[in-house]
Structure 1
Amino acid sequence: MSVEKVYPMTQAGKEKLEQELEQLKSVKRKEVVERIKIARSFGDLSENSEYDSAKEEQAFVEGRIGTLETMIRNAKIIEEDSMNSGVVTLGKTVTFVELPDGEEESYTIVGSAEADPFEGKISNDSPIAKSLMGKQVGDKVIVNTPGGEMNVKITSIG
């Protein structure tokens, strides 16, 4: 028997996944079934692009539901109270400046399940997060990214 992957996340991240799951189950699933029903009424299914499209969407929705259920079932909530405040860990917001004279950037390190770079949330599996984990304010860190090495200095951890 294989061990299922654990998904570290904040309580807010888990709640967001639960809301998405509820939306998919209660609204989206019904919409897709209705689309399939309507597309069937168009006749020959072998040449029915509406039917094919609706079936593809149904497969996507059902796949996402399965993924979300697994992530929620195997969620490991990050307790912010127990975290060492001076060290970069999961759930922390890290601010750093690229050396020698780059702009300041801030990211919150979260589990892969709730990563959203557009909201400043990066996965703990990302190259930046892996390089910063366990470091402290003032530390200079070499971050290996797909675009090459980046030298940064941590300016704050919150």
Structure 2
Amino acid sequence: MSKVSYYTEEGLKKLRAELRQLKDIERPNASKAIAEARDKGDLSENAEYDAAKEAQGMLEMKISKLEETLAGARVIDESQLDNSKVLVLSTVRIKNQANDMEMTYTLVADGEADLATGRLSVNSPIGKGLLGKSVGEVAEVQVPNGVIKFDVLEITR
């Protein structure tokens, strides 16, 4: 059974486009590389053939994982989400109690996470600590060095 994960419409489109690219372009290229390597002679001593077969196996594994992810993917209807609590697709402004540093993150599914653009996975330690919190509450996040406390300052969509 595949795990359900929630995506934005944009995130789901990216996953589908990546799968289409792998199936329509990468898969035929892998088959062609195997055929070319096979034509070069003895397969028992053909490193190029072995490498092409291994690349094809990795490609098929990637396609399979993407298909499994897409099978469990659900689009989130942002209009139905509650702004009073931190949920998936919430944009949260938080302040680290230890150093008074303020940060803003949007909580997204694992496949859409990109820390450089402020998109944090809901399954990350900070994401898990923020889920369900309201403005004014303190999120305690367990990290290897102990516990970090964040004040939830603002929740938006």
TM range (shorter): 0.7 to 0.9
Moved more, 54-63 or 147-156: 147-156
State the TM-score, normalized to the length of structure 1: 0.87
Determine the C-alpha separation between the residues in 1 that align with 2:91 and 2:45: 52
Aligned residue number for residue 22 of structure 1? 20
Amino acid at match of 2:119: K
- 2:80 aligned with 1:82, yes or no? yes
Alpha carbons of 1:147 and 1:31: their partners in 2 closer, same or farther (altered >3 Å)?
Answer: farther
Moved more, 56-65 or 100-109: 100-109
Moved more, 66-75 or 44-53: 44-53
Determine the C-alpha separation between the residues in 2 that align with 1:61 and 1:31: 11
Question: Deviations for 1:36-82, whole angstroms, at most 9, x for unmatched residues?
Answer: 12222232222322222221221111111112122222212111101
Calculate percent identity across the aligned residue pairs.
Answer: 38
Q: Secondary structure at the match of 1:156?
A: strand
Determine the C-alpha separation between the residues in 2 that align with 1:86 and 1:8: 19
* Pairwise CA distance, 1:137: 2.2
Residue from 111, 122, 125 that aligns with 2:123: 125
Structure 2 residue runs without a partner (length 5+): none
Aligned residue number for residue 31 of structure 1? 29
Alpha carbons of 1:34 and 1:102: their partners in 2 closer, same or farther (altered >3 Å)?
Answer: farther
CA contact (8 A) 2:2 2:71 kept: no
Structure 1 residue runs without a partner (length 5+): none
Aligned residue number for residue 57 of structure 1? 55
Question: Deviations for 1:65-111, whole angstroms, at most 9, x for unmatched residues?
Answer: 11212222221211110111131101112221212324322222122
CA RMSD of aligned residues (A): 1.8
Determine the C-alpha separation between the residues in 2 that align with 1:6 and 1:95: 27
Aligned residue number for residue 136 of structure 1? 134
Amino acid at match of 2:132: G
CA contact (8 A) 1:142 1:150 kept: yes
